[in-house]
A and B are shown apart, each in its own frame.
Chain A
Amino acid sequence: MFPGASTAREDADYAIVGAPLDVSTTFQPGARFGPDRIRRFAETFDDYDRRTDRHFSDLSVHDHGDVRAWTDAAEYVEHLSGVVRDVVWDDAVPLLLGGEHTVSAAGVDATDPDLFVCLDAHLDLREEYDGDEWSHACVTRRALETAEEAIVVGARTGSEEEWDRAAAEDVTVVPPEEVGAWLRAVKEGERDPFAGRDVYLSVDVDGADPAFAPGTGTMEPFGLTPREMRGVVRAAAPHCVGFDVVEVNDRDDGQAAALGGKLLREFVATHAHGTDGTV
């Protein structure tokens, strides 16, 4: 169980669902260990959140446990989507723990957002990868089959075809070096990409620079700092209908899992607070 996620399902405002899918990882596997790894490295966090003056264990979070994965990603995503839809029908916000990034497609399908916001090193805009449309390299493309628009924050790599796709009106790419200015503009009201829209926020932990989160499948240098990622989570959270942390594996000393678990807690604290909670 995620520490502090002890609320009964019927009383929960948030429900954690582990989704340890690990079939299309192209380099270092291990995402199947992500959900439990995140739970484990969240054990040391204080229950009290100073910024919002709330205890995590008072925020009505339930841990559903893991939905066991098998090798057929399309079938798994369909089943997982149903499990997440149950959470939505129970008027709770789903919090998915991956697993490879493919599982975000289930969260998006179940929550039907207007806008897919993604912290990610990769564009993930391929129609298919190695003939597989359910590869983790295609998830933003899959999300755009439901959401009207996608914002990929921290993206710094993609194929030529993906960059062409990213130039379309329904995709916004915020490269790592522009995230600070972009967040300031959001905070100061110069732009408001989230207002009035249902947002699904996906944190692919490889959006972080590998120096901060080496435990992930496909490390990509020149990435985001944890504080920049926290800024995006805080800005988007009040508008979100669903959230996930994905692509955490077991190939580090817990840095990626600790970052993922902390961002999940930031998400819940901020969403429950109703604003970005700046004090």
Chain B
Amino acid sequence: MVTQQKQVRDLQEGGYVMMDGAACKITHYSTAKPGKHGSAKARVEGKGVFDGKKRSFSQPVDAKIRVPIIERKQGQVINVESDTVAQVMDLDTYETITISTPSDADLSSEDSIEFLEMEGQRKIV
């Protein structure tokens, strides 16, 4: 998986982090102040980018974690197959892909969309 290493203190809300092997968007970040003999700990909450599952972890702020590298890409809707599935052309590679559509999306052929991609997983944003 394409990831890069960071320290927990470098994370911020709205960014991404790996939790339990899944790429997550950070929804909440708070830091507990260090005790006299302890080190500061951060608590990070996130939501799976591709599975929507909520996750969290607590780690010292100087701990090392992996941050996923997620590509943001442009696409064009070729065909809306159903309420939940559409065929989209990747405008970088001109490859046609099948992608799940969000329940609140109202897509039609030839719409331009943005989607996130990481190792074959994709999500319309």
Cross-chain contact of A78 among B30, B35, B38, B58 (Cβ < 8 A): B30
Query: Do B38 and A85 touch (CB < 8 A)?
Result: no
Query: Do A83 and B35 touch (CB < 8 A)?
Result: no
Query: Do B30 and A68 touch (CB < 8 A)?
Result: no
Query: Do A82 and B31 touch (CB < 8 A)?
Result: no
Task: Quote the shortest CB–CB distance from B7 to chain A (angstroms).
Answer: 19
Query: Do B32 and A67 touch (CB < 8 A)?
Result: yes
The prevalent SS among residues of B at the interface is: strand
What per-residue 1/0 map shows which CB atoms of A65-93 lie under 8 Å from chain B? 00110101001001100110110010000
Task: Quote the shortest CB–CB distance from A133 to chain B (angstroms).
Answer: 18
What per-residue 1/0 map shows which CB atoms of B38-57 lie under 8 Å from chain A? 10000101000000001010
Task: Quote the shortest CB–CB distance from B55 to chain A (angstroms).
Answer: 9
Contacts of A75 in B (CB 8 A): 30-31, 33
Decide yes or no whether B28 CB sits under 8 A from chain A. yes
Task: Quote the shortest CB–CB distance from B52 to chain A (angstroms).
Answer: 14
Closest to B44 in A: A82
The prevalent SS among residues of A at the interface is: helix
The CA-CA distance from A86 to B43 in the complex, in Å, is 10
Task: Quote the shortest CB–CB distance from B53 to chain A (angstroms).
Answer: 10
Contacts of A85 in B (CB 8 A): 45, 56
Closest to A77 in B: B30
Known: A82-B43, A85-B45. A68 touches B32 (CB 8 A): yes
Enumerate A165-202 residues with CB–CB distance to B below 8 Å: none
Known: A68-B38, A85-B45. A79 touches B54 (CB 8 A): no
Cross-chain contact of B43 among A68, A70, A72, A83 (Cβ < 8 A): A83
Query: Do B54 and A89 touch (CB < 8 A)?
Result: yes
Query: Do B54 and A82 touch (CB < 8 A)?
Result: no
Known: A68-B35, A82-B43, A83-B43. A89 touches B56 (CB 8 A): yes
Contacts of B45 in A (CB 8 A): 82, 85
Contacts of B43 in A (CB 8 A): 79, 82-83
The CA-CA distance from A70 to B38 in the complex, in Å, is 13
Known: A85-B56, A89-B54. A79 touches B30 (CB 8 A): yes
The CA-CA distance from A167 to B56 in the complex, in Å, is 40
Contacts of A72 in B (CB 8 A): 33
Closest to B29 in A: A82
The CA-CA distance from A115 to B56 in the complex, in Å, is 27
Closest to A89 in B: B54
Closest to B56 in A: A86
The CA-CA distance from A89 to B30 in the complex, in Å, is 17
Known: A82-B43, A82-B56, A89-B56. A70 touches B33 (CB 8 A): yes
Task: Quote the shortest CB–CB distance from A99 to chain B (angstroms).
Answer: 15
Nearest 9 CB-CB pairings of A with B: A70-B33, A79-B30, A82-B43, A79-B32, A68-B35, A78-B30, A82-B30, A86-B56, A89-B54
* Sample of 5 A–B contacts (CB below 8 Å): A68-B38, A70-B33, A75-B31, A78-B30, A82-B45
